[in-house]
Amino acid sequence: MIDCKPVNVTTAFVYRRASRSGLFYHLRIPKSLLRFPFRRMRIVGLTGGIASGKSTVSNLFKANGIPVVDADVIARNVLKKGSGGWKRVVAAFGEEILLPSREVDRPKLGQMVFSSDSKRQLLNKLMAPYISSGIFWEILKQWVKGAKVIVVDIPLLFETKMDKWTKPVVVVWVSQETQLNRLMERDGLSEEDARNRVMAQMSLDLKRSRADIVIDNNGGLDELHQQFDKVLSEIRRPLTWIEFWRSRQGAFSILGLVTSGLLVCKQLN
């Protein structure tokens, strides 16, 4: 038999009113459904600078069973041939950014936008709505699946002000020298191109000053793993109810609850 006990005072009130009126006479509302809006999920923000080691850290989270929403992957999907983002970007930048296959020539577009502030801002403006809605849906999917903790890996977390939605914010920090060397080595870039990419982002020192947790990734991988283990035990703890109510998730739950409560009451009167 389905357990349909109410889960807290507010839902109990709505539930009782609805039951008394006979609205739910034939309905059996499962407890899990009543609890749904109150599912607490910790959304950890992971950021840093280009080539500071975010993907290396997010792979460690994945290896430990924590789902990761990767903004770079979403941004890549948004630019796939024929998608809405692709159409807008091609219309603005012209067909010269396309390969013969009509996919975007990413290195070419990168060269254009990382050497011009105005072109980069234009690209950001065109892609932002697609990227943020992609991130939102991925987070929602994890929430529906019942994840207690997820990590969102967003290189431009502070620049796009999405840090307000995440707690804690983890910044993977390296010195500029290490960053440039790793970037040049990984992507085979000249020093000038690597500098342009680093300068296109908020300074890593400023990001570090705004972090809740800093991972210093100047050392080797062993050192990184040691720091990661501490971070993992800190973030694995699900949100407490106090943290939940203080978070934007809590605000959304209240809004959802008040709206549905009003709708039910309107039906009853």
Ligand X SMILES: CC(C)(COP(=O)(O)OP(=O)(O)OC[C@H]1O[C@@H](n2cnc3c(N)ncnc32)[C@H](O)[C@@H]1O)[C@@H](O)C(=O)NCCC(=O)NCCS
CB nearer to ligand ATP: give 72 or 243.
Answer: 72
| Member of 4, 29, 156, 257 binding ligand X (CB under 6 A) | 156
Q: What angle do CA 217, 74, 152 make, to 5 degrees?
A: 45
Q: What values do phi and psi take at 156, rounded to 5?
A: -105, 40
Binding residues for ligand X, rule CB under 6 A, total: 20
Interface ranges with ligand ATP (CB under 6 A): 48, 50-56, 72, 155, 182, 186, 217, 220-221, 224
Q: Which two three-digit tokens encode residue 95?
A: 């067909």
Contacts of 58 (CB under 8 A, 6+ apart): 46, 68, 70, 151, 153
Check binding of 79 to ligand X (CB under 6 A).
Answer: yes
Check binding of 72 to ligand X (CB under 6 A).
Answer: yes
Check binding of 108 to ligand X (CB under 6 A).
Answer: no
Question: Cis before residue 168, ω within 30 degrees of 0?
Answer: yes
| Member of 200, 215, 224, 264 binding ligand X (CB under 6 A) | 200
E-strand stretches of the chain: 42-48, 68-70, 149-153, 169-173, 213-216
Among ligand ATP, ligand X, none, the one that 224 touches (CB under a kind-dependent 5 to 8 A) is ligand ATP
Minimum distance of ligand X from residue 252's CB (angstroms): 22
CA atoms within 13 A on the CB side of 152: 31
| Member of 16, 106, 125, 248 binding ligand X (CB under 6 A) | 106
User: What is the spatial distance between Cα 254 and Cα 26, in angstroms, rounded to a whole number?
Assistant: 27
Residue window 122-151: x/- pattern of binding to ligand X, with contact defined by CB under 6 A? -xx--x---x--------------------
Check binding of 183 to ligand X (CB under 6 A).
Answer: no
| Member of 43, 150, 155, 204 binding ligand X (CB under 6 A) | 155
CB nearer to ligand X: give 18 or 79.
Answer: 79
Among ligand X, ligand ATP, none, the one that 182 touches (CB under a kind-dependent 5 to 8 A) is ligand ATP
Residue 258: which of 54, 10, 31 has the closest Cα?
10
Compute the residue count for the chain.
269
